[in-house]
């Protein structure tokens, strides 16, 4: 065990002496959490729209002011002609056109169906989808209010009451985007540290040539590996704790499940990504190559890990790919434990998969790291 002590001492000396490393360890987690949580949001705010109102009636004005009063939409300019409005849509200054036909008010008052036209810039499909559903629900709201007014005034025969759906959102009652994002972003944070730092560290020894000196020394492979992994494992866990503290006290994310469970699973998960980083280091010989491959893998893992887009809405083949994506498992576990209060019973299957991945990758990279080249 003694040589291991000296290996660890050396790694920590090098880490804390590296001026580029300290900001990565201490500042990166905070910035990442703040930036991504506040900025990377899917909520609509102040979508600019153009109005083409051929009716100019009480009802049309009411509908427009209802759209604006929600805060999601902002009227760019009134009195567009259809042609002007389309030009604006082309130029990207507005995202949506609301066209109200000439007999809108009249039809409504007589109880007829009265269509309005909505044109949405769908370059960004998911935003377009959101605009559509927000608009639809605002119009439906408007419609309900009108109906009740009309019924009181006209005493028209009451139509069969439609089924009304009143949604109650469990686990994230206010549909707060930050609550949903933060647990996932913590996963990204831990992954970056695990995947990049330890693998890069091994490759660095290749680059400066000291790996040969270590290879001619009577140093056990396992000691070498632990010496490389343990320091960054500790740093990863430390950063996770910073992140969790920020999530709890800064973002007021509910911690329904046990913190201990989270930490144990995070420890396992870190070993998985570190083993992957180590494996990358055994197939590359410069930090540049290693960085490129690690980056490639990380981007795919994150984009397909359900952080930004739900895995359920991916095509079948992509869903199958997530079965080997450790990031997807840990994001799922984090959300389940933090937001839904899941315990071992609910997550143990995923944890077992992570353990298996960890053992597999570790065995693979230890096997590939050879002190003697063949």
Instruction: List residues near other proteins by CB under 8 A.
Output: 2-3, 5-7, 9-10, 13-14, 17-18, 208-210, 212-219, 371-374
Q: Which is nearer to other proteins, 7 or 36 (CB)?
A: 7
Q: Do the Cβ atoms of 25 and 16 come closer than 8 Å?
A: no
Laid out side by side, the sheet with 96-100 consists of 73-77, 47-53, 96-100, 117-120
Closest CA to 285 of 358, 366, 216, 203: 203
Q: Minimal distance in Å, beta carbon 218 to other proteins? A: 4
Beta carbon of residue 214, minimum distance to other proteins (angstroms, whole number): 7
Q: Are 45 and 69 in contact (CB under 8 A)?
A: no
Q: 106 or 221: whose CB is closer to other proteins?
A: 221
Q: Are strands 73-77 and 47-53 parallel, antiparallel or unpaired?
A: parallel
Q: How far is the CB of 10 from other proteins (least distance, A)?
A: 5
What is the DSSP annotation of 64-121? HHHHHHTSSEEEEES---HHHHHHHHHHTS-SEEEEE-TTHHHHHHTT-----EEEE-
93 vs 210, which CB is nearer to other proteins?
Answer: 210
**Nearest distance, CB of residue 9 and other proteins, angstroms:** 7
C-alpha dist (Å) from residue 334 to 245, 321, 327, 342, 350: 14, 20, 10, 9, 11
Cβ 23 to other proteins, closest distance in Å?
A: 17
Of the pair 24, 86, the CB lying nearest other proteins is at 24
Environment class of residue 175 by beta-carbon count within 10 Å: exposed (0-12), middle (13-18) or buried (19+)?
Answer: exposed
The residue among 162 and 216 lying less far from other proteins, judged by its C-beta, is 216
As measured in angstroms, the least distance from the Cβ of 197 to other proteins is 15
**CB of residue 277 vs other proteins: minimum separation in angstroms?**
21
Residue among 328, 269, 335 nearest 304 (CA): 328
Distance, CA of 127 to CA of 95 (rounded, Å): 10
Which lies closer to other proteins via its Cβ, residue 2 or residue 164? Answer: 2
Output the smallest distance, CB 200 to other proteins, in A.
15
* Residue closer to other proteins (CB basis): 19 or 158: 19
What are the beta bridge partners of residue 96? 49, 120
Burial group, residue 65, by CB count within 10 angstroms (0-12, 13-18, 19+):
exposed
Q: Residue 216 Cβ, how far from other proteins at the closest point, in Å?
A: 4
For 97, what's the count of Cα atoms within 13 Å in the CB-facing half-sphere?
24
DSSP 8-state class, residue 193: I
Q: Which is nearer to other proteins, 103 or 205 (CB)?
A: 205
If the CB atoms of residues 13 and 122 are measured against other proteins, the closer one turns out to be 13
Rounded Cα distance, 293 and 281, in Å: 10
Query: In which element (H, E) is residue 53 found?
Result: strand 47-53
What minimum distance in Å lies between the beta carbon of 18 and other proteins?
Answer: 7
Q: Which is nearer to other proteins, 349 or 370 (CB)?
A: 370
């Amino acid at each position: 065990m003694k040589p291991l002590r000296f290996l660890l001492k050396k790694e920590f000396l090098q880490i804390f002496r590296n001026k580029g490393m300290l900001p990565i360890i201490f500042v990166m987690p905070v910035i990442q959490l703040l930036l991504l949580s506040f900025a990377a949001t899917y909520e609509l705010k102040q979508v600019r729209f153009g109005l083409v109102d051929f009716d100019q009636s009480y009802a049309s004005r009411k509908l427009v002011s209802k759209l604006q009063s929600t805060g999601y939409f902002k009227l760019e300019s009134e009195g567009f002609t259809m042609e002007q409005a389309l030009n604006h849509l082309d130029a990207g200054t507005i995202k949506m056109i609301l066209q109200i036909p000439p007999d809108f008010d009249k039809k409504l008052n007589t109880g007829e169906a009265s269509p309005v036209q909505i044109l949405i810039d769908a370059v960004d499909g998911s935003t377009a989808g959101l605009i559509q559903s927000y608009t639809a629900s605002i119009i439906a709201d408007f419609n309900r209010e009108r109906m009740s007014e009309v019924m009181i005034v006209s005493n028209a025969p009451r139509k069969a009451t439609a089924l009304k759906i009143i949604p109650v959102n469990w686990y994230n009652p206010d549909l707060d985007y930050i609550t949903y994002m933060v647990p996932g972003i913590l996963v990204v944070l831990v992954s970056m540290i695990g995947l990049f730092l330890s693998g890069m560290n091994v490759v660095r020894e290749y680059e400066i040539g000291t790996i040969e000196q270590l290879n001619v020394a009577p140093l056990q492979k396992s000691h070498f590996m632990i010496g490389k992994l343990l320091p960054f494992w500790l740093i990863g866990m430390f950063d996770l704790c910073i992140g969790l503290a920020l999530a709890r006290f800064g973002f007021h994310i509910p911690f329904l499940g046990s913190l201990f469970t989270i930490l144990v699973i995070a420890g396992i998960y870190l070993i998985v990504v570190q083993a992957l980083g180590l494996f990358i280091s055994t197939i590359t010989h410069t930090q540049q190559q290693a960085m490129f491959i690690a980056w490639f893998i990380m981007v795919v893992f994150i984009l397909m890990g359900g952080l930004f887009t739900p895995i359920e809405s991916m095509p079948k083949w992509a869903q199958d790919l997530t079965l080997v994506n450790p990031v997807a498992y840990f994001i799922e576990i984090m959300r389940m434990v933090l937001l839904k209060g899941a315990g071992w019973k609910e997550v143990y299957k995923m944890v077992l998969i992570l353990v298996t991945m960890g053992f597999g990758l570790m065995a693979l990279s230890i096997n590939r790291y050879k002190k003697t080249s063949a």
